[in-house]
Structure 1
Amino acid sequence: MNKITMIIAAATFAAGATYFVLRSAGGNDAALQGSVLEHGAPLTDVQLPHDLSQTAAIGKRAFDAVCAECHGANAAGRNGIGPPLVHNIYEPSHHGDAAFQLAVRNGVRAHHWDFGSMPPQQRLTDGDVSGIIRYVRELQEANGIR
């Protein structure tokens, strides 16, 4: 193989690998969509569950009051503002319930997204966050994230 053919093959492989990695991060990849959406627009389509448990319904009220400003209605994210929580990155096996509790209590440095770090949310109690987690988990389940 000559040098140019090897360079083209390597570039093609790198492009394919990059595409695969970005697509495997989630079906509606917010990072890819973010560049074409209006600032503040939802980053993913969220299918709502038929019914919410009582705990999730209470959690939705707390989420709407405190979290939706950044994470969007129904945790769909907001372009340029905050990530969607209905996303494979936040599935229970990767971000367990304790991770959500710690993020709210202590804040979290940006590590999956380019939205910046999340500050602590001092207006929420551990009980509030437990309800919010149940709400997010029920949204995730309705969207095939387990």
Structure 2
Amino acid sequence: MKKKSWTPYILVAVLAAGGFVLYSKNNQNSGESNTKTVEITVPKLSAVGAEGRDLFNTNCSACHGEDGKGSEVGPPLIHNIYNPGHHADISFYLAVANGVRQHHWPYGNMPPLTDVPKEQVKSIIQYVRETQQANGINYKKHNM
């Protein structure tokens, strides 16, 4: 009686797994997360929000685009990924103070912005939240 060889089955399984890994890597950021820039409407802002917009465009727009629309080097912050249920205000404070490792977008790590004081970050967050809300981005509970 001839023994059955498992080699062809193992080879097919390895190739299928490799194909799945390649497919997953190429599509992990598909959909809205892969958008480099978004169209936004800047609303009539509160005084703090208007100050935050100026501070944002001075300190953040080089990467995140004018008014938070995104750019070729950084993601849009006026985006549902940054809704308050997924990225609470504290995450913005921590990002500015400590930087951020790449996780949602294919841009790489964000360095800390040590020259932006906490009070200015507060105004920037106010701008981002007011603009998000004007563009239909509201709190959504995050489920892991």
Fold shared, TM-score > 0.5 on shorter chain: yes
Residue of 53, 71, 81 corresponding to 1:60 = 53
Runs of 4+ in structure 1 off by over 3 angstroms are none
* Residue aligned with 1:65, SS: helix
CA offset digits 1:53-99 (Å, max 9, x no partner) = 011111111111110010001100002x0000011100000000000
1:83-138 deviations in whole A, cap 9, x for unaligned? 00011100000000000000000001000001010000011000000000000001
Larger Rg: 2
Match of 2:120 in 1: 128
Whether 1:45 and 2:39 are equivalent positions in the alignment is: yes
Match of 1:104 in 2: 96
Is 1:85 the equivalent of 2:84? no
TM-score by length of 2: 0.73
Number of aligned residue pairs: give it: 115
> Structure 1: which amino acid aligns with 2:129?
R
Q: Residue type of the partner of 1:47?
A: T
- C-alpha distance in structure 2 between counterparts of 1:108 and 1:83, whole Å: 12
Tell me if structure 2 keeps the 8 A contact 1:107–1:117: yes
Paired with 2:54 and 2:127, the residues of 1 have a C-alpha distance of: 9
Structure 2: gaps of 5 or more residues: 1-22, 139-144
Q: Percent identity?
A: 44
CA contact (8 A) 1:30 1:44 kept: no
Q: TM-score, normalization: structure 1?
A: 0.72
Q: Give the RMSD, CA atoms, in angstroms.
A: 2.2
The Cα of 1:22 is off from its aligned counterpart by: 4.0
Q: How does 1:4-43 map to 2 (within 5 A)?
A: 22-23=30-31, 29=32, 31=34, 33-34=35-36, 43=37
